[in-house]
Amino acid sequence: MNVREYSLSDLDALRNIHARQSFDYQFPDLENPLFVSKLIQEDTKGQITMGALARVTCEIYLLADPDRDTPRQRLTNLISLHSAAASDLLRKGLEDAHAWIPPKIARRFGRRLTQLGWVRDDAWTPYSIRLRSS
């Protein structure tokens, strides 16, 4: 097996693999600069067996003083900050943001996020990894 960088000539093979997987998501735009790593694995005959495509996304944190203002004012402030943050991320070229909500506030705060356009995605099971240099 050989691992190498993606090249445009790999596109059709990757599209074919994607279609045969039958997963419910569109094939990604590999020309998008948010794809910062595109690796291909080939067998001994040079046939593509896999691709690992890494796209930059954003994890967003909200730090809000729980002792400040009334709940209504905090909501007004959240809406204002949310709008500014979304615009800032778009200006910087990002396409999405993700938030992990502590269980003790997930139900209540999740409703607020839904009102702001966020979607709880339980359809896909998230995994994460902390990368460490060897």
pLDDT digits (tens, 9 = 90+) for 56-83: 999 999 999 999 999 999 999 999 999 9
Q: In this model, does residue 134 exceed pLDDT 80?
A: no
Listed in sequence order, the DSSP H helices in the chain are 11-21, 71-91, 103-115
| Together in a domain, 50 and 63 | no
In contact, 53 and 27? CB cutoff 8 Å: no
In contact, 42 and 48? CB cutoff 8 Å: yes
Q: How confident is the model at residue 121 (pLDDT cuts 50, 70, 90)?
A: confident
Q: Which domain holds residue 33?
A: 2-55
Q: How confident is the model at residue 1 (pLDDT cuts 50, 70, 90)?
A: confident
Total domain count, the chain: 2
| Together in a domain, 94 and 62 | yes
- Separation of alpha carbons 78 and 85, rounded Å: 10
Strand partners, 51: 40
| Together in a domain, 50 and 65 | no
pLDDT digits (tens, 9 = 90+) for 8-28: 999 999 999 999 999 989 999
Domain boundary among 14, 37, 55: 55
